[in-house]
């Protein structure tokens, strides 16, 4: 028998023995040993449950820790997002505020530029508006001062003014004493004066009246002396004992008539004096003469002065509004000059009216004298 056949025989025999044993156990199984197996199963079950419980606790702890970490991370992320959103919102608000402030500054700058261009002294308000306004107000105030001072100074500074009476002897002595400051060389040579005065002939020269001077100076006193020389000696006062007599009443009426006739001339002379003198005014105090103030205003626009040079230089930079304002200022000055000229015409008219009244009075007196002469001639003829 070959080896191969012997191996197959061995395998077949083993297989059969195995099948036989299985069949034997199938019909006769071993008894279950509960006392030996149950403790082992219980111990294994306890170990398994303990392991599962430990694993569950460990897993729960891990999950709790990870959940807390996740919640903390979510809170931090949420807070970071909130802070970032607030920062972005604040940055946006700040940017908008800065933009608004910038727009406001630009708008304000534009308004300031426009206002300065339209109303400023450099471009739209004419030449040096504050200075011009102050000078024009000063001229208006000086004009009011002269008007208020005229009547008062006619009464106080003219010895033979309207309604004034004085002793002829005292007035003559006052005239002689006053004239010493104005004695001329010819008067000294003739023996009428002892020495030449500081202002020779000033009290008899018309030029004295038109020289611009300040009140309180010797030149101002010379103007008063000139007007007093023109007005002449005052009228003798009437004794109180004969004030009610017919002759005294007639004397007073004749004086009033004469004062009324020469009053326009005295007022005109005194007005010229005040216009060319820096008098002490109620509103303006002591200031430059009115004629000097008006001359300064005219020179600013007519040339030949530093003010004209500055005005011409400023006028070049003015816009249309500024040029129109300057034209109005020039026209206002022209109207003021015409108003002064109109006042002078009124003064001339009053002087002519006084001269007419005086001439009419002289004619009436001549007629009365002629009538008296004719009456006397007729009386003589009748007697003869």
Backbone angles phi, psi at 285, to 5 degrees: 70, -150
Three-state SS at 281: strand
Q: What is the pLDDT of residues 229-243, one digit of tens each?
A: 999 899 888 888 888
Residue 177: is it exposed, middle or buried by C-beta count within 10 angstroms (0-12/13-18/19+)? exposed
Is the pTM higher than 0.85? The answer reads no
Residue 124: what pLDDT?
79
Three-state SS at 204: helix
Backbone angles phi, psi at 187, to 5 degrees: -65, -35
Residue 87: what pLDDT?
86
All residues at 6 or more sequence positions from 214 whose CB lies less than 8 Å from its CB, including other chains: 220, 277, 278, 286, 289
Three-state SS at 32: coil
- Determine how many CB atoms are found less than 10 A away from the CB of residue 131: 11
Rounded CA separation 166/232 (Å): 12
Rounded CA separation 314/84 (Å): 59
- Contact assessment for residue 225 and residue 179, using Cβ atoms and an 8 Å cutoff: yes
Which residues, given as ranges, of the chain have pLDDT below 50? 1, 10, 22-27
Residue 23: what pLDDT?
47
Residue 6: what pLDDT?
56
For every residue of 334-373, DSSP letters joined together read: HHHHHHHHHHHHHHHHHHHHHHHHHHHHHHHHHHHHHHHH
Helix, strand, coil: what percent of the chain each, to 5? 80, 5, 20
- Determine how many CB atoms are found less than 10 A away from the CB of residue 159: 20
Query: Which tokens belong to 210?
Result: 């038109």
Residue 73: what pLDDT?
87
């Amino acid at each position: 028998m070959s080896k191969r056949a012997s191996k197959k025989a061995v395998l077949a025999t083993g297989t059969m023995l195995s099948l036989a044993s299985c069949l034997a156990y199938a019909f006769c199984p071993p008894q279950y040993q509960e006392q030996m197996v149950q403790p082992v199963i219980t111990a294994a079950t306890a170990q398994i449950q303990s392991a599962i419980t430990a694993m569950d606790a460990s897993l729960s702890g891990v999950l709790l820790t990870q959940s807390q970490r996740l919640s903390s991370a979510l809170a931090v992320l949420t807070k970071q997002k909130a802070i970032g959103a607030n920062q972005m919102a604040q940055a946006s608000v700040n940017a908008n505020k800065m933009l608004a402030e910038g727009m406001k500054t630009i708008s304000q700058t534009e308004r300031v530029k426009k206002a300065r261009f339209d109303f400023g002294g450099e471009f739209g308000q004419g030449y040096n508006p504050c200075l011009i306004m102050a000078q024009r107000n000063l001229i208006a105030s000086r004009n009011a001062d002269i008007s208020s001072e005229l009547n008062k100074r006619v009464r106080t500074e003219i010895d033979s003014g309207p309604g004034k009476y004085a002793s002829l002897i005292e007035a003559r002595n006052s005239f002689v004493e006053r004239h010493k400051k104005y004695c001329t060389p010819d008067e000294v040579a003739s023996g009428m004066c002892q020495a030449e005065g500081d202002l020779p002939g000033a009290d008899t020269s018309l030029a004295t009246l038109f020289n611009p001077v300040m009140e309180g100076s010797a030149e101002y006193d010379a103007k008063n002396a000139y007007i007093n020389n023109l007005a002449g000696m005052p009228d003798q006062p009437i004794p109180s004992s004969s004030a009610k007599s017919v002759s005294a009443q007639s004397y007073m009426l004749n004086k009033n008539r004469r004062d009324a006739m020469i009053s326009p001339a005295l007022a005109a002379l005194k007005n010229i004096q005040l216009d060319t003198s820096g008098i002490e005014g109620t509103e303006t105090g002591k200031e430059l003469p009115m004629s000097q103030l008006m001359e300064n205003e005219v020179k600013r626009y007519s040339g030949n002065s530093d003010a004209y040079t500055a005005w011409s230089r400023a006028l070049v930079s003015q816009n249309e509004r500024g040029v129109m304002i300057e034209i109005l200022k020039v026209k206002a000055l022209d109207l003021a000059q015409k108003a002064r000229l109109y006042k002078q015409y009124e003064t001339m008219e009053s002087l002519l009216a006084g001269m007419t009244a005086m001439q009419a009075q002289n004619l009436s007196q001549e007629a009365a004298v002629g009538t008296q002469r004719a009456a006397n001639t007729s009386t003589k003829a009748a007697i003869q």
